[in-house]
Amino acid sequence: MIKAGIIGGGGYTAGELLRILIRHPEVEIAGVQSASQAGKLVSDTHDDLLGETNLRFSAELPKSVDVLFLCMGHGQSPQFLQDNPIPENVAVIDLGNDFRLDENWVYGLPELNRERIRHSKRIANPGCFATAIQVALLPLAQAGLLKNEIHVNAITGSTGAGQAPSSNTHFSWRANNLSVYKAFNHQHLAEIMRSLGQLQANLAHDLNFIPLRGDFTRGIFATTYTEFDLSVEDLKKLYADYYAEHPFTVISEVNPHLKQVVNTNKALVYVEKHGNKAFIISAIDNLTKGASGQAVHNMNLIFGLPETTGLGLKAGLF
């Protein structure tokens, strides 16, 4: 059994990670650290786990682990690792944004870096918006076909803002409401452009990204378009070929909707051609494929397990 530890166990991503790992057939949870929740039952904080586990939060680091998941707030992981040196043989998967551009860490998007992930012990999990947008664009970058500006509009649920309350996550503000934030300068742009440049070295065009806050709890629905001079048949073949061996990115033949991916580790991708433009829809759950599910996918790769182990999560449509 793989012994897993979680650091920063009180937040949304840690809750999702626990939901997955408790049912993972090859994992034993060695400990869940949370300074703010120490001594409490995990199910007191993550109450969907009532009856699923008797684990308690600890203020101490889990001992004798094979993999450590860092679920702390952005900016906290470097200080944690400085204060708590982790042996080289222990895999560390950081769910924050601190190491996504660090050359010493492997960027943990399996659809891009699957083989590098298999041979690494330091994984920087991608951002949720970044995941949804990259799965929409990787096939075009691989073919060197991102030849003009890219335009992306994407909406996310309130859990994407984390568990700490704020004015724009309050129910009274968020319900029946819609707003744009960080237009053209979202923090995930750097990792997206780096990944696309990994596949298309001459990429020199802007990615114009308009993120929106939605009045729902979880999921990301992104629409992307850019110039594309080949046929719709060529477009569909590019995507089918690129994702043929990737179990979690599914090409839809019909226009998808968000409920198809919520509570799953799937990314749905749908393509159309309009005039001289490729139009791509991508949809993920921000907490699973965009965070904790992808972290477990990375763990499976590191430890030589089938990629889908423990991740057979099904959407609940209604």
Q: Residue 25's CB: how many other CB atoms inside 10 A?
A: 8
279 near 303, Cβ under 8 Å?
no
Helix, coil or strand: residue 113: helix
What is the C-alpha separation between 254 and 118, in angstroms, rounded?
A: 33
Instruction: Name the active-site residue from 70, 91, 128, 133.
Output: 128
Residue 4 CB partners (closer than 8 Å, separation 6+): 21, 27, 28, 29, 30, 65, 66, 67, 68, 69, 299
**Nearest C-alpha neighbor of 152 from the set 238, 280, 250:** 280
73 near 8, Cβ under 8 Å?
yes
Residue 244 CB partners (closer than 8 Å, separation 6+): none
Eight-class DSSP state of 154: E
Q: Residue 204's CB: how many other CB atoms inside 10 A?
A: 9
The one-letter amino acid code at 208 reads N
User: Please, how many CA atoms are within 13 Å of residue 187, restricted to the half-sphere of its CB?
Assistant: 12
Helix, coil or strand: residue 42: helix
Place of tokens 């999560």: 313
**Burial per residue of 119-152, b for 16 or more beta-carbon CB atoms within 10 angstroms, e otherwise:** ebbbbbbbbbbbbbbbbbbbbbbbbebbeeebbb
Respond yes or no: is residue 128 known to be catalytic: yes
* Residues identified as active-site: 128
